[in-house]
Amino acid sequence: KIVSQIKLPIENEMELFEKKFSGAMSSKVALLNRITHYVVNRKGKQMRPMFVFLIAKMTGNGTVEERTYRGASVIELIHTATLVHDDVVDDSNRRRGFFSINALWKNKIAVLVGDYLLSKGLLLSIDHEDFDLLKIISVAVREMSEGELLQIEKARRLDITEAVYFDIIRQKTATLIAACCAMGAQSVNAPKEEVEAMREFGELIGIAFQIKDDLFDYGEEKIGKPTGIDIKEQKMTLPLIYTLNTVPPKDKRWLINSVKNHNKDKKRVKQVISFVKDTGGLDYAVSKMKDYQQRALAILQNYPNSPYKASLELMVNYVIERKK
């Protein structure tokens, strides 16, 4: 399997990381421990820690530092917090094929669990007086919150431009992957320019990653997430934006009406999905995603061949080709 192949050059690090990470969440409150266990047992692909370790090893002559583990744990804690909150914000009852925290324990508890995980992440950097790390992660949290709010603001006006779409996904998603990659390099004391190059690399992949996530809403792949949710929330993503901007005014009016009034007729969401496919919206989004993929791969070409670089290349391609 591709993910285990990617992990090969960082197998030991990932194993040690998992131990450190589950310890980092523990609390005296039994309810909280029950919920964090639920989260850990349904962990995702752990792409973010993989980026941290692969980049640390690529930029640091094949070794990682104690700070690298800390960085990976902080990122994963914050990432988990954002997903718990995201499912509340999006009113989504599924995550990775399982019930979301809000579906099982209700919003009140999900909000508080997210806050707890966020504070644990910040404290982990403060406890070690790792202020570089604290800075990287605090900027990411601010950007993600702004990105989410920008998205909500724009959902009320359906005529969002492609430029605004890219701003939103850069903030809500790419920023955290950029932080992973910058942190990986910084944790092994890579020079400043290299830290910045890795941040850029992460941003490019992050944008491609979110375009892919938005494509899943069109149901091309069978994953543990319901489809058509973004449309129902009037969340405008690239395929729909492209179609809106290219079809004749009468089709545009029909589309906008359908998105606004999807409640009145259950078939509407399915019709919007087919219309976007038929008018090239999906193809357009796929080609944009591939542009970002190529730009990310180009950055890696500045490095000599190594198992870490090879895994990073596989990972860039995996982001694009993944089925979930």
- Cβ neighbours around 321 below 10 Å, total: 11
- Decide whether 90 or 162 has the Cβ nearer to Mg ion: 90
**What residue number has its CB nearest to Mg ion?**
90
152 in contact with ligand 2DE (CB under 6 A):
no
Residue 271, binding choice from ligand 2DE, Mg ion, none, Cβ under 5 to 8 Å by partner class? none
CB of 85 to Mg ion, least distance (A): 9
Give the other-Cβ count within 10 Å of 11's Cβ: 11
Query: Minimum distance between the CB of residue 250 and Mg ion, rounded to whole angstroms?
Result: 29
Transcribe 53-78 into DSSP letters.
Answer: HHHHHHHTTT---HHHHHHHHHHHHH
215 binds ligand 2DE (CB under 6 A): no
- Residue entry with tokens 């990932």: 14
- Which of ligand 2DE, Mg ion, none interacts with 288 (beta carbon under 5 to 8 A by kind)? none
Count of residues that bind ligand 2DE according to CB under 6 A: 17
Q: Exactly one of 18, 132, 213, 220 binds ligand 2DE (CB under 6 A); which one?
A: 213
Shortest separation between residue 86's beta carbon and Mg ion, angstroms: 4
Question: Quick one: DSSP state of residue 247?
Answer: S
DSSP strand E in 8-119: where? 94-95, 98-99
Q: b/e string for 183-206 if b means 16 or more Cβ within 10 A?
A: bbbbbbebeeebbebbbbbbbbbb
- 184 three-state secondary structure: helix
Nearer to ligand 2DE, 6 or 78 (CB): 78
Give the span between the Cα atoms of 271 and 232, in whole angstroms.
Answer: 12
- Is residue 86 part of the contact set for ligand 2DE (CB under 6 A)? yes
How far is CA 267 from each of CA 72, 259, 270, rounded to the nearest angstrom? 44, 11, 6
Q: What does residue 196 show for φ and ψ, rounded to 5 degrees?
A: -65, -40
> With the CA atoms of 240, 241, 245 and 247 taken in that order, what torsion angle do they form, in degrees rounded to the nearest 10?
0
Taking the complex as a whole, the smallest distance from the CB of residue 274 to ligand 2DE amounts, in Å, to 21
Q: Under the rule (CB under 5 A), what is the footprint of Mg ion?
A: 86, 90, 213
* Stretch in the footprint of ligand 2DE (CB under 6 A) among 25-33, 129-137, 144-152, 292-300: 144-152
CA–CA distances in Å: residue 145 to residues 102, 139, 244: 19, 10, 27
Provide, rounded to whole angstroms, the least separation between the CB of residue 92 and Mg ion.
5
Which C-beta is closer to ligand 2DE: that of 107 or that of 145? 145
Which of 87-95, 254-262, 290-298, 315-323 is the region at the interface with ligand 2DE (rule: CB under 6 A)? 87-95
CA separation for the pair 107, 130 (Å, rounded): 33
Q: Which is nearer to ligand 2DE, 146 or 251 (CB)?
A: 146
Q: Among the candidate windows 24-32, 137-145, 255-263, 316-324, which touches ligand 2DE by CB under 6 A? A: 137-145
CB of 110 to ligand 2DE, least distance (A): 11
Q: Which parts of this chain interact with ligand 2DE (CB under 6 A)?
A: 78, 81-82, 85-86, 89-90, 92, 114, 118, 141, 144-145, 148, 172-173, 213
